[in-house]
Amino acid sequence: MNAAVTASPAADTPQAHRYNQIRRWLSVADFVLGLVFLVVLLVTGWTRFLRDYALQLAPDHYSVALFFYVLMLLVSSKLLGLGLDYYGFRLEHHYQLSNQKLRSWLWDQFKGWLLSVSLGALLVELLYFTIRQSPQHWWFIAWLVFMALFVFFAQIAPIVFLPIFYKFEPLENENLKERLVRLSERAGTRVRGVYEWKLSEKSKKANAALTGLGATRRIILADTLLQKYSDDEIEAVLAHELGHHVHKHILKSIAVQAGITLFGFWAANAVLHYAMERGHLFETLSDFANLPLLVLVSTVLSFLLMPLLNSYSRFNERQADRYCFQSITSVAPFISSMNKLAEQNLAERTPAKWVEWFFHSHPAITKRVAAAEDWARLKA
Interacting residues with Zn ion (CB under 5 A): 317, 320
> Quick one: 66 or 238, whose CB is closer to Zn ion?
238
Q: Whole-angstrom Cα distance, residue 352 to residue 356? A: 6
351-377 burial by CB neighbour count: b if 16+ within 10 A, else e?
A: beeeebeebbebbbbbbbbebbeebbe
In the complex, least distance from residue 27 CB atom to Zn ion, rounded to whole angstroms: 20
Nearer to Zn ion, 236 or 296 (CB): 236
Nearest-approach distance from CB 175 to Zn ion, in angstroms: 23
Q: Specify whether the CB–CB gap between 35 and 296 falls below 8 A.
A: yes
DSSP string, 139-181: HHHHHHHHHHHHHHHHHHIIIIIHHHH--EEE---HHHHHHHH
* Least gap, CB of 179 to Zn ion (angstroms): 18
CA dist., res. 264 & res. 302, Å (int): 9
Strand order in 218-222's β-sheet?
168-170, 193-197, 218-222, 208-211
Name the strand (E) or helix (H) holding 208.
strand 208-211
Nearer to Zn ion, 68 or 195 (CB): 195
Q: How far is the CB of 367 from Zn ion (least distance, A)?
A: 14
Minimum CB distance to Zn ion smaller for 281 or for 341: 341
CA 79 to chain centre: 22
Q: Quote the least distance from Cβ 276 to Zn ion, whole Å.
A: 44
CA atoms within 13 A on the CB side of 183: 29
The sign of the torsion formed by the CA atoms of 177, 180, 185, 189 equals negative
Contact 317, 363 (CB under 8 A): yes
Please say which residue, 320 or 332, places its beta carbon nearer to Zn ion: 320
Closest CB to Zn ion among 194 and 268? 194
Least gap, CB of 379 to Zn ion (angstroms): 22
CB atoms within 10 A of CB 75: 12
CB of 290 or CB of 316, closer to Zn ion: 316
CB of 100 to Zn ion, least distance (A): 24
